[in-house]
Amino acid sequence: MTVPDKLDRPARDRYEFVILGAGCSGLSLCYYLLERGVDAPILILDRKRTFEDDRTWCFWDVEPTPFTQRALKEWRSWDFVSTGRSVTQTTNRYPYKCLTGRDFYEHALARLAESPNVTVRLGEEVGDCTEKNGEVRVETSNMTIRSRQVFDGRGLPPGSPAFEEARRRAVWVPQKFLGLRIRARKPVFDPERCTLMDFSVDQSRGLRFVYVLPMGEREALVENVYLSEADVSQAEHRAEIGAYLESIYGLAPDEYETLGEERGYIPMTDHAFPRRLGERTHNIGMLGGETRPSTGYTFLRIQRHCRALAAAVVSGADPPERTYPRRLDLLDSLFLRFVRERPGECPEVYRRMFAGVLPDSLVRFLTEKSTPLDEAHLIRALPKTPFLKLAARTLLAKSSAPGP
């Protein structure tokens, strides 16, 4: 998909707002600014040349977002599987929804195109941003632009300075995955249930699970996910998915076709990503630390933060530092450390969570909407000794860490 004609105008040299990155956070922030009635000039810059259907976002429907109505599919039941043991949970309250990249970009761009004050420029590699004399100077491969405020949503590509800094300084678990969108020749999937985690796969190269989102009886997105530093090539990911399809669904390689592919590296980390790089330069999305450290889920946090940020920009209030409760930080750090230090025990810990916590409570915890009672249920389901030991060490590490 290319940029709609109405958004593809020549850039001026001054803007009120410049947004770096036309990805999830950049487009969402612009959407919320427009919803708040902003009519000052907004420029969005991105290095890519087209909008590809490059990812599928899933999230629990715990609150409205402008994109929820475009969800392609939802599941009210999900499976958790580890060797020889599986758990199925069902909830009518909070379905798990799936939104394709294509539908997200299309919906966001259509809304942006309704407003004459928005320009989107693709093919612009953004370099340095410097604040001087009450404005920010943004250098791109083709031009220099000045703006009153800049929002940086360029993500966390592996190897980028922010990525390397976080990896060096904090607890870090790589979530590396590749997913195939496949169509089978025979009906093998149950479209009413998705598989959130299937750990009954080979674990010899690191903590690994398979995630299955059936779109119908014959179609599914099947993802092979490593929560480890294992260096797995794309060919190996595809081969592991092929072996899984054969062993679990009886699908030989010639019994399905691949319709598409997506892949990613989501850093799970408790690094405190800076919210601002200056008075007028704000970080949003993954770069602003919107990935949940213990799960890698990011989409809902991005929506919450961008909505609150747009409201603050319009009212002149201070931008929000965070939109999730501080009391979950310790539990998040504990889970993260557990995955990092005791990967072999994780399938059983996740199983206890899925088996021992009611689905609505678990969903509220996973979406940072939990009540203290939900959290008490979760803690009760966890093995006490290793988590208490980790809690003591985590608190000690945090209390002796140098201040900001």
Output the smallest distance, CB 47 to ligand FAD, in A.
Answer: 4
Binding site for ligand FAD (CB under 6 A): 21-26, 45-48, 55-59, 124-126, 153-155, 262, 264, 266, 285-287, 297-299, 302
Q: Which is nearer to ligand FAD, 298 or 370 (CB)?
A: 298
Output phi, psi for 221, to 5 deg.
-100, 125
To ligand FAD, the closest distance from the beta carbon of 233 in angstroms equals 17
> For residues 18 and 302, which CB has a smaller minimum distance to ligand FAD in the complex?
302
Question: Rounded CA gap, 349 and 357, in Å?
Answer: 12
Give CB contacts under 8 A, 24+ apart, made by 322-326. 324/368, 325/368
| Least spacing, CB of residue 181 vs ligand FAD, in Å | 11
CB of 156 to ligand FAD, least distance (A): 7
Sign, CA dihedral 106-110-116-117, equals: negative
Nearer to ligand FAD, 32 or 387 (CB): 32
For ligand FAD, which is the closer residue by CB, 143 or 381?
143
Nearer to ligand FAD, 91 or 367 (CB): 367
Task: Let me know: does 133 contact 106? Beta carbons within 8 Å.
Answer: no
Please identify the residue of the shown chain whose CB is closest to the bound ligand FAD: 23
We find the least distance from the C-beta atom of residue 368 to ligand FAD, in angstroms, to be 12
Q: Which is nearer to ligand FAD, 28 or 394 (CB)?
A: 28
Residue carrying structure tokens 């020889």: 84
